[in-house]
Amino acid sequence: MVCGDPLNDFRAKYVPARVVRTGSQFFDDKQDDRGWATTVTRRVRDFGKITVLEVFSAEPSLASFLKSLDRRRLRIQHSDPLGECYTFIWASGYDDGTRIRVQGVLQVVPVGVTTRVPLDTIVE
């Protein structure tokens, strides 16, 4: 960027800066954006097919949505460079004090699949 460059001056004045969000974005079974959480951690379990995630600092609308989840599809997309994604065949949410616990069964993505599998495709 060169100071005094007319094109850069124009961009700085008239083109809005892109807002970059960090954390994790949540999508419902209709692929609608339900909000962002600053931290999502996966609890390690040695048994069963149930995956447990803990969601911290959720937006109020996201918190309400997650608490009302009852065996519904859910996708969580992390915004970090790895872009990790959790897609649940079904998930339920519970208020757990300072956090919300989401648990359910993850969709299995076949080996060699490099693109995202749509929410309406169930692979078991």
- Listed residue (85, 84, 74) closest to 119, CA to CA: 74
pLDDT of residue 1: 37
Total domains present in the chain: 1
Question: 118 in a domain, yes or no?
Answer: no
Question: 61 in a domain, yes or no?
Answer: yes
pLDDT of residue 124: 42
Domain membership of residue 50 as a residue range: 21-106
pLDDT of residue 117: 46
Question: 76 in a domain, yes or no?
Answer: yes
pLDDT of residue 80: 77
